[in-house]
Amino acid sequence: MFAFQDTQTEADRTVDVAFTDRHGGLSGGPFASLNLAASPGDDPETVERNIARAARAFAGVADGGAAPTVVRMRQVHGADVHVVDQASLVAADAPVADALVTSLRDVVLMVRVADCVPVLLADLAAGVVGAVHAGRPGLVAGVVPRAVRAMRDQGAGTLRAWVGPHVCGACYEVPSEMRADVSAVVPEAFAETSWGTPSVDVGAGVVAQLREHAVEVVDASRCTREDEDLFSYRRQGRTSGRLAGLVRLRP
């Protein structure tokens, strides 16, 4: 169920972090089995059961127990950051944003991807966490730096980021003009595929932006296109499911 789960053992641990893989869920066909988004065409009720199942496993709740509250967002490849407060927990619709930030405890923030870069952020001492969806447009728009600033506005100081599974620079082929446009903004994203054509390394660009803003980076990445244990739009097309990054402040 988890491609990566934080295993820190410090006594004052306050944050849980994980990235899911595609196993351990209830979806069938090309969405098998832990698809966490209904938009690709999967059954919405099954997806909701998958989300609850993943949330329980993430929080250490036994099957059949109450799943923790999961806050999701309508991701649009932009740079808007939504601060999750008590009102957000009862809102009828998910916020239109590409980053979530909160200081609420026992609330799971979820970012969903199928090749884009999921970034989870935390200040373990201050008690502020964030989840970011960083695709190529979001990288250029600066969604990661905006999320970092929003967390610091909420009182965060020393930040750690976990960068999860995404398509690697050796696999993300783009037209040469697009590579030039992206690398003009984030030079570290300039790349070439393993077969010698222009590409963009969104992950390298995200890491560069994080380090520019003095954020410690934990690399939890795997290439979604190369790894069949993960969903990938580049590999599967429109029938690709979505994996997730999950972060919460412990209760």
pLDDT at 188: 98
- Beta-bridge partners for 100: 82, 131
The answer to whether 102 and 84 have CB atoms below 8 angstroms apart is: yes
> Residue 142: what pLDDT?
98
80 within domain boundaries: yes
Question: What are 121-134's pLDDT values in tens digits?
Answer: 999 899 999 999 99
Question: What does the block give as tokens for 156?
Answer: 């965060």
Q: Tell me what percent of the residues of the chain surpass a pLDDT of 70.
A: 98
- The values of phi and psi at residue 149, to 5°, are -65, -40
Question: Is residue 26 in some structural domain?
Answer: yes
Mean predicted confidence (pLDDT) in 62-66: 88
| Residue 3: inside a domain | no
Residue 10 has pLDDT above 70, yes or no: no
Whether the pLDDT of residue 8 is over 70: the answer is: no
Residue 11 has pLDDT above 60, yes or no: no
Inter-residue contact 111 to 132 (CB < 8 Å): yes
Q: Is residue 169 part of a domain?
A: yes
Instruction: Check if the beta carbon of residue 127 is closer than 8 Å to that of residue 14.
Output: yes
- The answer to whether position 5 is within a domain reads no
The enclosing domain of 154 has a CATH number of: 3.60.140.10
The predicted-structure confidence for 155-194, as pLDDT tens digits, reads as follows: 999 999 999 999 999 999 999 999 999 999 999 999 999 9
Q: For 49-62, what is the mean pLDDT?
A: 96
Work out how many domains the chain is built from and give that number.
1
Residue 1 lies in a domain: no
The tokens describing 130, both together, are 């964030």
Residue 244 lies in a domain: yes
Which residue in the block uniquely carries the two structure tokens 């190529």? 136
Distance CA 97, CA 104 (A): 18
What pTM was computed for the model? 0.97
Does residue 208 lie within any of the structural domains?
yes
The two three-digit tokens of residue 188, written as one number: 């570290």
Q: What is the pLDDT of residue 159?
A: 97
Residue range(s) defining the domain that contains residue 89: 13-249
